[in-house]
Amino acid sequence: MNEYLALELIRQRTTERYEEARQASLVHRLRQARRQRNRDEALVRRPVPDYVDGSFRTVPEQRQAEHVEAVR
């Protein structure tokens, strides 16, 4: 095989491999970003307790608190 032809084939294959590696890297980064977004959303979806002991306000307490905030 002509050495110039062999060099050209090697160059083309190397370019193809670099492109495949770049695309695989992009896919990896997209998956990481999706996982992080899911973790962040899971934190946002968790309800935050109203009191130190981890309990939540009852409905009458919530209405009273809304009334107090509206009066201010």
For residue 53, name the pLDDT band (cuts at 50, 70, 90).
confident
Helix, strand, or coil here: 65?
Answer: helix
Helix, strand, or coil here: 23?
Answer: helix
Look-up: residue for tokens 């306000």? 57
Dist CA 7 CA 4 (whole Å): 5
Dist CA 28 CA 42 (whole Å): 21
* Terminal-to-terminal C-alpha distance of the chain: 88
User: 8-50: per-residue pLDDT in tens?
Assistant: 999 999 999 999 999 999 999 999 999 988 888 777 777 777 7
